[in-house]
Structure 1
Amino acid sequence: MAKTVVATAFGGPEVLTVVDEAVPDPAPGQVQVRLRAVGVNPFDYKVYSGAVGADPANLPVRPGIEASGVVVAVGDDPVGPTGPIAVGDEVIVDPGTGTYTELITVPAAVTFAKPQNLTWEQAAALLSSGTTAVDALTTVRVAAGDTLLIHGASGSVGTATAQLALARGATVIGTARARNHEHLWALGVTAVEYGDGLEGRLRELAPDGVDAVVDTAGTDEAVDASLALVHDRDRVVTILAFGRAERDGFHAIGANNPDSARIRRAARLEIVELAGRGGLDVTVAKTFPLADAARAHIELQGDHPRGKFVLLP
């Protein structure tokens, strides 16, 4: 049996509860992992809030898509993207289903050898943000010589996007709260305070406009400034402002988008290897016991420290 967080109804974090659930033995091509850390993502909230469907037949909902831990059992021929998997291996799981748990059985195909330079918490927080960043940069075709504007550049997705764009040879301008500017400047990002007058401040830095935009903030302010500065709306992408994207003719990406799913799956190994070489900084903002998943979700929706939240089973 494993303590597992489930949503017994559709709604807010108050519907989350901890139950004991049986965990199946691994079948051929599967592995069982004792989890050490679990990444918390906004998508986790969406799956039980009703935002992506509220069919009672799907209850209870088991949130969670990424985690890290130690393999404790294997089925026949367990081979993952980084090679054969054995009991005792330290791994990253992504994308999983229902990773808010102590013990999980998953296909070997979604397990990656954990880089030794990453903590359990960093490993659990790596792939969702990293692959979303690759998806965004691929969608707007960022390359050397481009000037890229990132809204919400100090968030987990924004920071990963900035680092990957800089590695491609792009110049990056990022919006963020003033308290996070020092971090962005240290990465090589030109930091800008959002709020009233944002477009004017951006024009001072990019008088000829920008080549591409990645929006992780989802506000009208961010979208309006982006459309005013970008040369081609086909090079604007958002991970939140879906209504504006449909109305104003730019890209929106997400886990339920088939193209996004394909790009993100293909990018997982690249991100793991890059992090293993020290080429991608992963910041953990705060950790919570697994039983405090509801509190983590409440805090995630408010003003919180820079970086990812992580649950500790």
Structure 2
Amino acid sequence: MPKAVRYDEFGGIDVLRVDEVERPTPGDGQVLVRVKAAGINPSEAVIRTGALAQMFPSTFPSGQGSDLAGIIEEVGAGVGGFSPGDEVLGFSNKRASQAEVVLVEAGDLTHKPENVSWEVAGSLYVVGATAWGAVHAVDLKEGETVVISGAAGGVGSLAVQLARRSGAAVIGLASENNHAWLKDRGAIPLAYGDGVEDRIRAAAPDGVDAFIDTYGHGYVDLALALDVPAERIDTIADFAAAEKYGVKTDGGTAAGPGAEVLAELAALIADGHLQVPISKVYPLHQVRDAYTELERRHTHGKIVLRP
């Protein structure tokens, strides 16, 4: 029997386990994917605690995970464009991807480019769609300046690269050990913490046009203090501040763009125009260790499970 991550109640990392489950059978429009890699995300950890129970209701036992990449084993009726043996990447909206096999709607998949690794393909959807949504939300123009908090994280590292592709100058807030990586991607790296507003003003003497917050903890207030208009601030982490000040949450609350944008991002990676940093890879049975590392919130790039 295949194995999958499960939990029976809201709680901390200790509620997670790996169980044997029934092998699913694809229905109309579905495919069964043998998962080769599944990225993990901070939002999953928050959902597991119950803190977002009204926004994301749960039934138990609950699975976990959206991102996935793998090989198609079976296709259901009415599926076109995919066959058993195809290598694919995509997502599940059923909190089910952290498993050995998973049912996926065919419309939520795209073919994996040959030169994109399993770890990168299996990590792409949530961070890619979120970064894509956030960058588009602030409507960057060539020559403008945008600040990105958490610039070396999973979402932030992609947002930096997508923002640079728009022609904007990017100020990336991150710890010093990530500054060389940011500089190599054309960003201006700055340390976060005390004095960050002064450091940003010194780096952007003509002002800041937009702000993308991937971290929370006061960055919306910082953006407003820098005189960034509310309509050009996007947060994926501080929903209370978004409600209070009327800033955007594109990429943070909506379902996000689908397989078409995922294919676009995968093509950019295949062509060498976009990089998804992989921080660590864990086997599925070490899911608790993977989330322990994730919840420290100091990783550069993605943490991946390999069933």
What is the TM-score when the length of structure 1 is the normalising length?
0.92
Q: Is the 8 A contact 1:212 1:230 kept in 2?
A: no
- Which residues of structure 2 form unaligned runs of 5+? none
1:246 aligns with 2:240: no
Counterpart residue number, 1:208: 206
1:291 CA displacement:
1.1
Counterpart residue number, 1:164: 162
1:37 CA displacement:
0.8
Q: Is the 8 A contact 2:278 2:304 kept in 1?
A: yes
Counterpart residue number, 2:77: 76
| Equivalent of 1:291 in 262, 285, 292 | 285
Structure 1 moving runs of 4+ over 4 Å: 54-57
Counterpart residue number, 1:92: 89
- Cα distance in 2 for partners of 1:236, 1:196 equals 21
Q: Is the 8 A contact 1:47 1:63 kept in 2?
A: no
- Cα distance in 2 for partners of 1:85, 1:195 equals 49
Q: Is the 8 A contact 2:3 2:20 kept in 1?
A: yes
| Equivalent of 1:272 in 266, 269, 276 | 266
Amino acid at match of 2:17: T
Counterpart residue number, 1:187: 185
1:312 aligns with 2:306: yes
Amino acid at match of 1:288: Y
- Cα distance in 2 for partners of 1:264, 1:190 equals 31
Give 3-state SS (helix, strand or coil) of 2:199's partner. Answer: helix
Q: Is the 8 A contact 2:154 2:301 kept in 1?
A: yes
1:52 CA displacement:
2.0
1:288 CA displacement:
0.9
Counterpart residue number, 2:233: 236
1:266 CA displacement:
5.3
Counterpart residue number, 1:63: 64
| Equivalent of 1:197 in 195, 198, 222 | 195
- Cα distance in 2 for partners of 1:56, 1:36 equals 28
Amino acid at match of 2:283: P
1:2 aligns with 2:2: yes
Counterpart residue number, 2:99: 101
Q: Is the 8 A contact 1:134 1:264 kept in 2?
A: no
Q: Is the 8 A contact 1:143 1:165 kept in 2?
A: no
Give 3-state SS (helix, strand or coil) of 1:251's partner. Answer: coil
Counterpart residue number, 2:221: 224
Counterpart residue number, 1:35: 35
Q: Is the 8 A contact 2:108 2:258 kept in 1?
A: no
1:195 CA displacement:
1.0
Amino acid at match of 1:148: V
Shifted more, 95-104 versus 66-75: the winner is 95-104
- Cα distance in 1 for partners of 2:91, 2:51 equals 22
When the two chains are superposed, the root-mean-square deviation of aligned CA atoms in Å is: 1.8
Give 3-state SS (helix, strand or coil) of 1:105's partner. Answer: strand
1:5 CA displacement:
0.7
1:117 CA displacement:
1.4
Give 3-state SS (helix, strand or coil) of 2:255's partner. Answer: helix
- Cα distance in 2 for partners of 1:212, 1:304 equals 24
Amino acid at match of 1:177: S
| Equivalent of 1:142 in 140, 156, 161 | 140
Instruction: Report how many residues are paired.
Output: 305
The C-alpha deviation readout for 1:46-97, integer Å capped at 9, x for no partner, is 2221022189971111110011111111123323xxxx11111111121442
Shifted more, 116-125 versus 182-191: the winner is 116-125
1:265 CA displacement:
5.7
- Which residues of structure 1 form unaligned runs of 5+? none
Give 3-state SS (helix, strand or coil) of 2:304's partner. Answer: strand
The C-alpha deviation readout for 1:152-207, integer Å capped at 9, x for no partner, is 11111111011111111111111100000000000000000111111111100112
- Cα distance in 1 for partners of 2:246, 2:291 equals 32
Amino acid at match of 1:223: V
